[in-house]
Structure 1
């Protein structure tokens, strides 16, 4: 693989973009709605650069353009969601912006016809056929692969708290899973997901990719599904850990925190500050705890080995990023978005509140659709 070409080198964190995946549901029953015509049109590029197909015909993906400010991120997210909603409406379906559908299952899905998706089923078999989750990915610009790997190695301890702030998948296949992000557990079944090991250098990262290709686990670097990875085709570091955020405000917050971390950690790498030595087993434990409890319980700090209240963990992250956010003119906006998130809870928290009030998972799905349309 190359050093994150194409494009001229950019300072770490100067650009960002967001990809979101959505379930497609019937507007009356809110069941998953296979939409082969919509998938074929998206596959043919009929909806333009922002709207793309996904592995099943009950999903659709969007991608913003390259953004430089949080205002641009918000505007691009509003535009991509509006275009996806319009495309879906033409097929008689609506978007459900959450990582799992509350009551439908994988058997109601149909794989999207196309070489890439057919190759995925051929390689990963039942894992690909049962892929009934959606995610949110943030790309942050970096100048080269060395910087991408240096930030990847340093960002690992921060990933669990970022995950805890985005949970939207408490229900799966008609049951409360006991997790805020059940998607994380579902995704963890794949052999090349989760928090990556320390890479150490660009050369070592390339060697890992080469080994995974030789093993047949992946076809190329574009199929590397870690929680954070150097992009195979863009000059970016891609963060893939988040659930789909129902509310656009939460997507903007997640993107802002991710980009700030890239700026801060790239600067530490430039100063040759040491990489935190954290056991991967403890990082996995922290990720599991964040997926289970979100912000409503205690998170595990893999650096100190202590349990920390979710709000305290968020406050600690903000304190660490405060100078960078202030320098970028983003601190007030980010703190306001954090206050809003802590006040109303994640999508997962709100979904459970709806179910407690109504006892009806159909109403949970309907509420997700309404919230997503109102705020995006």
Structure 2
């Protein structure tokens, strides 16, 4: 009998309710043909010399870099920190004759050309997942929301799950893969779904119950820690947060901050009004709704979990924004929410901008160049 002891679930740290933090995975591209460029080491060395909020770290492959804010109390604070990080990234990239850009996928990179970043965890993942690891050269935004205790975090997690399609459609920026229009607004998430520990968290509403589930799972040896779960939303006990992981990286930091403001406003609505009790049956339509949002973006159909009503996702987003508007005003997120309302009303997301740019320019490299200018804050539209 194996005497190895399964790892225990760590205790849930306290954090202030409604604090937020944002992580952005970004593309490094050369300025010759705008393909991905393996310059993360050089970028990290240059960035380390600049005093900045949050953190800058490597990601799975060496053409990626991740920036993170610290703990913020408003989406304007998020935007302030992301602005400092973005401006430093742009200066460092200019020194290396490369560029940084958002977007959930690079439109024409070849996965087999990517290099795994030399870090023990990334090497272990590469050994375990094979070619999927290089195909994980995709770029997402993660939003953390502070929760005062573990049980309220799980309640928040399952309430947020109803809005996964909204998050996907509003952030979608990955229509092109390997030089082709995939016909998805968010093709990035198809790469995430290939991993066995992706999907959604088990339906538990107490940390004790979650701990029992975690113990059973770790006893199998399939997972060793919370890091092994690639769920759409997962608890982060060491931070005292839940982490929403379905957003594509937007093309601008303004959009990234607006999405964080939306999440924060939703969380405030949940806490103040307790609008509904999540239940396991919510997940009967979860996979369908998520697929619709990935495939069709703001033109998707949304199935309301309780009533089974089918309606345009765009319409449900607008209804939701109306409900959270008073809380957004209190949090100073009203401008952020209004920008998302405008997107939903006009069915405009970053995937649409990318397609329209490609339709006009007929050259994917030029589309990437214009995306990099957008990231700098220079481009219009």
**TM-score normalised per structure 2:** 0.88
SS of alignment partner, residue 168 of structure 1: coil
Residues 1:21 and 2:29 aligned together: no
Q: Which residue is 2:83 aligned to? A: 78
Counterpart residue number, 1:99: 104
Name the counterpart of 1:207.
212
Q: Is structure 2 residue 12 aligned with structure 1 residue 4?
A: yes
The alpha carbon displacement at 1:33 in A equals 0.9
**Deviates further, 355-364 or 212-221:** 212-221
**Consecutive unaligned residues in structure 2, runs of 5 or more:** 1-8
2:298 maps to which residue? 295
What is the deviation of 1:194?
A: 2.5
Q: CA deviation at 1:63?
A: 0.4
Whether the 8 Å CA contact 2:24–2:249 is kept in 1: the answer is yes
Shift of 1:40: 6.8
Shift of 1:223: 2.8
1:27-66 equivalence runs, <5 A: 27-35=31-39, 37-38=41-42, 41=45, 49-66=54-71
Aligned residues: 369
Give CA-to-partner distance per residue, 1:252-293, whole Å, 9 cap, x none. 221011112222223456x9x632453424101000000111
The equivalent residue for 1:359 is 362
Query: Residues 197 and 305 from structure 1, CA distance in 2 versus in 1: closer, same or farther, beyond 3 angstroms?
Result: farther
Q: Deviations over 1:341-375 (max 9, x none)?
A: 64481110011111211221112211211111116
Residues 10-34 of structure 1 deviation map (CA, whole Å, 9 limit, x = unaligned): 2x21x11100001111012101111
**TM-score (ref. length: structure 1):** 0.90
- In 1, Cα distance between the equivalents of 2:30 and 2:72? 33
Aligned counterpart, 1:120? 125
Distance in 2 (alpha carbons) for counterparts of 1:191 and 1:362: 33
Distance 2:77 2:66 in 1: 19
Mapped partners of 1:41, 1:302: distance in 2: 48
- Is the 8 Å Cα contact of residues 60 and 84 (structure 1) preserved in structure 2? no
The aligned residue for residue 4 of structure 2 is: none
**Greater mean deviation of Cα atoms: 292-301 or 148-157:** 292-301
| 1:1-376 mapped onto 2 (5 Å cutoff) | 1-5=9-13, 9-10=15-16, 12-13=17-18, 15-35=19-39, 37-38=41-42, 41=45, 49-267=54-272, 274-339=277-342, 342-343=345-346, 345-374=348-377
Question: Is the partner of 2:31 in helix, strand or coil?
Answer: coil
Secondary structure of the residue that 1:81 maps to in structure 2? helix
Q: Which runs of 4+ in 1 moved over 6 A?
A: none
- Aligned-pair RMSD on alpha carbons? 2.5
Deviates more, 1:26-35 or 1:307-316: 307-316
